Amino acid sequence: MTQKILVAVDESPFAEIVFEQSLKMAKAFQASLMVLHVLSLDEEGSPQMPIAASGPGSYVVLETTVMEAYQERWKEYEKKGLSQLQGFTDRATEAGIATEFSQLSGRPGKTICDLAKNWQADLIMLGRRGRSGWGELFLGSVSTYVVHHAPCPVMVVPAKTQA
């Protein structure tokens, strides 16, 4: 019986659809929710690490101001994720669903699977952006990783196609 649903969201607009589907499932099963956001450099919109150019015989040095600016962007990224998680949690709680959230750093697929195992999730719900072919081969697919490595059943919510 499904009692604990782990729902993985990112900062894309599609996260709303995934969350709404997980809320419906939680209501249907009278299950609790864990809403997860994984902080990752691979996520669209995450701050990218500054790259320093260097030549033969030179040292790679990142200016303190460049690193401080990057750290500030990372803090804003974390803050935005926490705000989204808090909003989802508040909505689920108002709907009568016991809900908690977690924001972790790491490789999204592995982090989702590890949390599902540690939290003893009965079901994982996440979205699929629709990468295929070369994009999936080179960039990878979080949903494909989770389907193959999850300790429990996985429900993948497909991206809505536009007519």
23 within some domain? yes
25 within some domain? yes
Token pair, residue 57, equals 């015989």
127 within some domain? yes
36 has which bridge partners?
Answer: 8, 102
How does DSSP classify residue 140?
-
Token pair, residue 64, equals 């303190």
- Asked whether the beta carbons of 21 and 125 are under 8 A apart, the reply is yes
**C-alpha distances out from residue 134 to 41, 138, 153, Å:** 20, 6, 27
- Using 70 as the pLDDT threshold, list the residues of the chain that sit under it: 50-62, 129-140, 160-163
123: number of CA atoms within 13 Å, CB side? 20
163 within some domain? no
Which CATH number covers residue 72? 3.40.50.620
How buried is residue 111: exposed, middle or buried, by Cβ count under 10 Å (0-12/13-18/19+)? Answer: buried
- Asked whether the beta carbons of 101 and 86 are under 8 A apart, the reply is yes
- Asked whether the beta carbons of 39 and 105 are under 8 A apart, the reply is yes
85 within some domain? yes
19 within some domain? yes
Over residues 43-62, the pLDDT tens digits come to 777 888 766 655 555 555 56
The structural domain count of the chain equals: 1
Collapsed DSSP state (helix, strand, coil) of residue 8 = strand
- pLDDT computed for residue 107 by the predictor: 94
Residue 40's closest CA among 113, 142, 136?
A: 142
Range of the domain at 149: 4-158
